[in-house]
Amino acid sequence: MSQKLHWVAWGTLIVFPALGALLLYLFGKPVIEVMFRSQINVVLQIGIGGFIGTLLGLGGRWIITRPVILPSLEKYGGIVKSMRLKPHHVYFLSFCAGFGEELFFRGAMQALTGIWIAAVFFVAIHGYLNPRNWRISIYGIYMTLAIALLGYLTEIWGIFTACAAHMAIDVVLFNFLIRFADKKIAYEHSESYEYTEQIE
C-alpha cells in the first residue's frame, strides 16, 4: 500500500468526524448528543453491525458478479490490484472508511438531511450512481438501499452499528476484488456465466 493511500485513510478517519462535528455545530446541534445518539452497549452495536454488514457485503458481491455488471468489474478489480493491498491493509482501510465516513454521513449529515438524502449523496459521491454507466448504477441502487439501511440502524441501535457494518461491507468487497484481480481470468460476454461460477 502506498504512503499516500495510508495518509488518505488516516485523513478519512480524522477529518470526516471533525467535519461532521463542525457541521452539527454550525447548525446549532449538540455534537456529542447527536453524533452518538444511542444508549445501547457499543460492543452490541459493533456485533450487530458486523453481522449485517457482512450479509450486505455478500449481497454486493453477488450483484457485481452478475453477467450484466461483469464488464464494469474488471475496472474496479484493476484499481484494487494497483493498491497492492495485504490482508492487514484491507482491515485498516475498511476501519478508517467505516468509522470515519459513518461518523460524518450517518452521525452528522443524516441528522440534518434525513436518511435517504444522506444515503443517496453518499453513494453518488462514490461514483456508483452514474447516468453514463448504467451497469455500475445497478450496483449503486443496491448500495443506496444498503446505506439507507445503515441509516435506520443508526437511529435504532446507534452510530457504531453503522460504522461496523460499513467496515464489514468493505472487508468483504475488498477481499473479493483482490481475489478477482489476482486470478487474471480473461472473459468474454458469451462466457460470463461460466466465469461467474469460477469467481464466486
Q: How far apart are CA 198 and CA 48, in angstroms?
A: 31
pLDDT of res. 71: 73
Over residues 20-52, the pLDDT tens digits come to 999 999 999 999 999 998 989 999 999 999 999
- Take residue 163 and report the three cell numbers written for it: 460504522
| Distance of alpha carbon 143 from the chain centroid | 8
Q: How far apart are CA 57 and CA 168, in angstroms?
A: 7
pLDDT of res. 198: 53
Residue 110 identity (one-letter amino acid): Q
Over residues 55-67, the pLDDT tens digits come to 999 999 999 888 8
Please provide the average confidence, as pLDDT, over all residues in the chain: 88
- Residue spans of alpha helices (H) in 65-86: 70-82
- Take residue 125 and report the three cell numbers written for it: 459521491
| pLDDT at 106 > cutoff 80 | yes
| pLDDT at 188 > cutoff 50 | no
pLDDT of res. 32: 94
Phi, psi of 45 (to 5 degrees): -60, -45
Residue 199 identity (one-letter amino acid): I
State what percent of residues in the chain have pLDDT above 70. 88
Over residues 147-162, the pLDDT tens digits come to 999 999 999 999 999 9
Other C-beta atoms closer than 10 Å to the C-beta of 174 total 21
- Take residue 49 and report the three cell numbers written for it: 453491525
Q: Are 108 and 121 in contact (CB under 8 A)?
A: no
Q: How far apart are CA 67 and CA 72, in angstroms?
A: 10
**Nearest Cα to Cα of residue 95 among 132, 138, 49, 61:** 49
What sign results for the dihedral spanned by CA atoms 108, 158, 45, 52? Answer: negative
